[in-house]
Copies of this chain bind each other. A is one copy, B any other.
């Protein structure tokens, strides 16, 4: 009752050629829609191909043409948030191109990463998409050395023009979110960031600072919490913030996962969102609209970034020049139901 992996009745081009009574060359031309075959002959061959349910051999074709039809995507872990949004964009673009998408998750395991890299280098990929916030084993360097086309997605540790990258206007996102909160009347706005040794988190913080300064609101160091871009940060830091002598009236997180953590603590303490606390997230991941209440967040155009990155990669693969090596798509504030004027604000009285 188990299946046999045996490959029966799989035809080769040679067999088709013999059946029709022509050369392999001619069959190949028909198969690849190339000129140099008479109309009736072409039709006859197509018929036989169809009748016999013939399909080309991928490996042989690949060997001759030097292309695998494969694009590899490397990411740390599929979390279902940020990465999933980008993945959706990639898939859309890939599908149109006729390539297949290979997914590889590093799990931050160096040994596994090296193995993967080694495997890529054997010409089994047409190009790679990097969705790694940071890396330790010099993937970009190796890729560059072996002249394997690639583009990096999302903000990386350091700016570079050595290779194509795509990001979004993070700083502006930080600014807009804070400005919005200020416009609602908030003056004590907390920010939960990611590790500040990473540039893109510093960018959010800088945007936050800029907005406060513009409004003439002094920056309170007690309201700046450095986390590790995880949900747990939201939990931990929110507890800390609530226990402050003078707690904030709004919390701005550096991603939506952290905002989820904030929600949890607030729920536990029966602090109503947005009546008693405003929350703004970052990314606009799929599930933000489904949160209770729906989260106001800074949207990164995730799908668009994935799509753009894929198209850039495809362009490189085809040998076309890129207009620019680094592209930033713009962020925007998506206003939903998690913000309101602070209670003590004149606006809400």
Q: Which of B72, B80, B321 contacts A80 (CB 8 A)?
A: B80
- One of B101, B123, B163 near A59 (C-beta < 8 A): B123
Residue contact B100 to A102, C-beta cutoff 8 Å: yes
Flag whether A33 is at the interface (Cβ < 8 A): no
Which residues on the B side are within 8 Å of A66 (C-beta)? 7, 59
List the one stretch of A41-49, A183-191, A204-212, A284-292 in contact with chain B: A284-292
Give the interface size bracket for A toward B: 35 or more
A224 at the interface (CB under 8 A from B): no
- 1/0 contact string of A94-107 vs chain B (CB within 8 Å): 01000011111100
Question: Is A316's beta carbon under 8 Å from chain B?
Answer: yes
A63 within 8 Å of B (CB atoms):
yes
Among residues 73 to 124 in chain A, which have CB atoms less than 8 Å away from a CB atom of chain B? 78, 80-81, 84, 87-88, 91, 95, 100-105, 112, 118-119, 121-124
Q: Is the CB of A147 within 8 A of B231?
A: no
Known: A80-B80, A101-B103, A102-B70. A124 touches B59 (CB 8 A): yes
| Whole-angstrom CA separation of A121 from B49 in the bound complex | 14
Hey, which bits of chain A sit against chain B, CB under 8 A? Answer: 1-8, 10, 55-63, 66, 68-70, 72, 78, 80-81, 84, 87-88, 91, 95, 100-105, 112, 118-119, 121-124, 127, 144, 146-147, 149-150, 161, 163-164, 231, 260-261, 263-264, 267-268, 286-287, 290, 292-293, 316-319, 321-322, 325
